[in-house]
Amino acid sequence: MEKVGILIEVKADQIKKANYGVITAARGRDRQLYAFLLDGGRADHKLTLGRYGIHKIIEIAGQEGPLEWNPATWAQAVIEAMEYFGIRTLLGLTSSQGKDLLPRIAARLDAPLVMDCIHLNLAEHTVRKPQYSGKTIATLKVQGGHCIYGVRPNAIAAQPAPCEAETVIYRTAPAPAGLTVKAIKQAMSAGVDLSEAEIIIAGGRGMENGENFKILFECAALMGAAVGASRAAVDADWVPYAMQVGQTGVTVSPKVYIACGISGSVQHFAGMKTAGLIVAINQDLTAAIIGKCDYAIVADLFEIVPRLTRKLQALDGRI
Amino acid sequence: MQIYVCVKHVPDTAAKITVKAPNQIEEAITFIMNPYDENAIEEAVRIKKRRGDAEVIAVTLGKPAAENTLRSALAMGADRGILILTEDPPDSLVTARALTVAIEQDGTPDIIFTGKESIDNAGFQTMYRLAAALDMTVVSNVAAFALEGKRVVVECQMEGGARGVIELSLPCVIGAGKGLNKPSYPTLPAIMQARRKEVKRIALDSLRIEKPSARADILELKPAVEARRAQQLKGSAEEVVRQLIRILREEARVIE
Ligand SMILES: Cc1cc2nc3c(=O)[nH]c(=O)nc-3n(C[C@H](O)[C@H](O)[C@H](O)COP(=O)(O)OP(=O)(O)OC[C@H]3O[C@@H](n4cnc5c(N)ncnc54)[C@H](O)[C@@H]3O)c2cc1C
């Protein structure tokens, strides 16, 4: 029986939905799935994780209580737990947290690591990932005593496969690592998190100013969507960098991406081309995005977005 | 104090990528310094300007053409360069070993900067491997950096715009993020001067790196298929929005 570990990410005591795609990718015949939870909070995640096929939930904690966030000690704790439970394959998300933990773990284990996987075949040790801003797809084969994979959030659809999960508490006291987390500065809440969102509505230079992003936030709130932006909008200081989608911003894979007043540069596409559906609202028929999307609305975004908001409000009222 | 900065010569983001062989692209395109590496060089040069006693050494592993990126780093203010030459760029494990050995043979790093990721193959791991091999502390996606005596205080970009304030001991490895600084473009005299700065050339083979048993090999590289059939929604604004709602509800099933 092969054991596969999955590093689970939690936000506000809830398992992030994107984890379920990772668990789906990890499943296989004769495979035991171990979920590593470091900040599961007080909630019991047996039912939620069991629904997707997790057999064992390993709650990693300190001797006295939860391990405070520290990438170095967390990585060390995961390595110890992997050792203890005899786990040689580890999967996680290519998220902010995953980008800090998975490479730390791989480096310490001198294990191969492929980040941003969009397809995995664990039996063959092969994965596929976008390279060159998504212009090519590479197939890689990894070999090693341990193998570590980061999965692009939402790139693999979650499929339930219920089983009975069991919880085990693993206590450890990782040595101090020369690295101390002094504080975490929270950003002004921008609503739904980009990497988690099923729907993203993003604005570009066509938004004209920061104030106008309000119409995107209003529309987003009604759909449970996150609001993103192009670099042009970020460079103009209309919205914070954390909202930038693209090559030098966040990479997202929502089910639907609605681009408003965005021309569709290669660099922007690098961050959203794996979206399920791309809708472009752009008044210029010759804009690159018009030929690269699924549905194009060739019109003034200020005519379309507020109308969409009103229609969604009407739907909301009806329910 | 010695500050090493690892830089990478990568295809321009706007360049058309043509696949030639499983692990090869057509290279007659524009190459640039990896964008985040510019932030890395900039930060190192700023430290040097503030302290006076720092030497900034840019290191790259690549084909001979990678010297262009090394020269850009020198034009931005690095003192000298190290070019590890290979015709067959290796995987992340070997790359990190090569950088480690080249740096160790050259001097004693107090700080090593890298970009937080390379935009060609987006490995996200070189800085962590360097740190593990050299027994240094490491943080990545750094948006603010301050050197205070023997300690370094950084702010790391976290999810949703949050920032972790982290203190770490020297020597350390820092993965530069975009928000770290605004790289200044080199002046013409600086570019001219960069041509005369010292670049040490080392053949990858001469570093005698033990082949790690662990590896990640590219089996195949394929152009990404653009499978979207752009369809224009037609009609009045009202009609178009109605169609969009239908698509969101029935096709994408993201709204009720
Ligand atoms: C190294 C590098 C990295 C980069 N990284 C990124 C990145 O991470 N993310 C990113 O986005 N970009 C990135 N860029 C920048 C990228 O090349 C483009 O410049 C940028 O994406 C353009 O943003 P935009 O589409 O909003 O603006 P523009 O290209 O100016 O497009 C604006 C669009 O809005 C439309 N428009 C205007 N008004 C309206 C209206 N009222 N209604 C409807 N449509 C309207 C116009 O027709 C136009 O098509 C990067 C560039 C480089 C060189």
The predicted-structure confidence for B14-27, as pLDDT tens digits, reads as follows 899 999 987 789 99
- CATH number of residue B153's parent domain: 3.40.50.620
Instruction: Answer yes or no: do B152 and B202 share one domain.
Output: yes
Length of chain B: 256
Instruction: Answer yes or no: do B176 and B252 share one domain.
Output: no
Considering the domain boundaries, does residue B214 fall inside one? no
pLDDT at B159: 86
CA A319, chain centre distance (Å): 30
Tell me what the mean pLDDT of segment B178-201 comes to. Answer: 95
Instruction: Answer yes or no: do B164 and B252 share one domain.
Output: no
Question: Does ipTM come in above 0.90?
Answer: yes
Tell me what the mean pLDDT of segment B199-203 comes to. Answer: 98
CA A192, chain centre distance (Å): 12
Q: For A290, which residue in chain B has the nearest alpha carbon? A: B230
Distance from CA of A289 to the nearest CA of B (A): 9
Q: Give the up-direction half-sphere exposure of residue A130: CA atoms within 13 A in the CB hemisphere.
A: 24
Q: Is the CB of A133 under 6 A from ligand 1?
A: no
Number of H helices, E strands in chain B: 6, 15
Instruction: Answer yes or no: do B255 and B167 share one domain.
Output: no
Question: Rounded to whole angstroms, how far apart are CA atoms B141 and B156?
Answer: 6
Listing DSSP states for B175-227 in one string gives EE-GGG--PPPPPHHHHHHHHHS-EEEEEGGGG-PPPPS-EEEEEEEEEPP--
Instruction: Answer yes or no: do B246 and B137 share one domain.
Output: no
pLDDT at A176: 79
Residue A319 pLDDT grade (very low, low, confident, very high; cuts 50, 70, 90): very low
Residues in Cβ contact with B251 at an 8 Å cutoff, skipping those fewer than 6 apart: A277
Instruction: Answer yes or no: do B129 and B237 share one domain.
Output: no
Higher confidence at residue B256 or residue A217?
A217
What kind and span of H or E run contains A296?
Answer: strand A295-297
- Whether the per-residue pLDDT at B142 is higher than 70: the answer is yes
Predicted TM-score (pTM) of this structure: 0.90
Instruction: Answer yes or no: do B89 and B135 share one domain.
Output: yes
Instruction: Answer yes or no: do B155 and B236 share one domain.
Output: no
Instruction: Answer yes or no: do B141 and B255 share one domain.
Output: no
Q: For A104, which residue in chain B has the nearest alpha carbon? A: B128
Residues in Cβ contact with B162 at an 8 Å cutoff, skipping those fewer than 6 apart: A184, A185, A186, A187
- Whether the per-residue pLDDT at B226 is higher than 70: the answer is yes
Instruction: Answer yes or no: do B133 and B178 share one domain.
Output: yes
**Strands A199-203, A226-229: pairing kind:** parallel
Domain that holds residue B51: 2-207
Which is the closest atom of ligand 1 to the Cα of A232? 23
Domains of chain B: total? 2
Listing DSSP states for A187-256 in one string gives PPP-SS-TTT-SEEEEE-GGG-SSTTHHHHHHHHHHHT-EEEE-HHHHHTTSS-GGGBBSTTSB----SE
Instruction: Answer yes or no: do B160 and B191 share one domain.
Output: yes
Nearest Cα to B232, choosing from A293, A312, A204, A307?
A293
**Ligand 1 atom 27: the closest Cα is on which residue?**
A205
Considering the domain boundaries, does residue B203 fall inside one? yes
Considering the domain boundaries, does residue B119 fall inside one? yes
Considering the domain boundaries, does residue B140 fall inside one? yes
**Strands B163-169, A179-185: pairing kind:** antiparallel
Q: Which of A69, A248, A295 sits opposite B247 (nearest CB)?
A: A295
pLDDT of A16-34, one tens digit each? 999 999 999 999 999 999 9
Instruction: Answer yes or no: do B85 and B191 share one domain.
Output: yes
Considering the domain boundaries, does residue B217 fall inside one? no
Question: Rounded to whole angstroms, how far apart are CA atoms A257 and A278?
Answer: 5
pLDDT of A250-290, one tens digit each? 999 999 999 999 999 999 999 999 899 999 999 999 999 99
Distance from CA of A142 to the nearest CA of B (A): 4
Q: Which long-range contacts link A216-220 to residues 24+ away (Cβ below 8 Å)?
A: A216/A260, A216/A305, A217/A191, A218/A309, A219/A305, A219/A306, A219/A308, A219/A309, A219/A312, A220/A191, A220/A192
Considering the domain boundaries, does residue B221 fall inside one? no
Mutate to test the pocket of ligand 1, among A244, A257, A258, A282 (most ligand atoms within 8 A of CB): A282
pLDDT at A106: 98
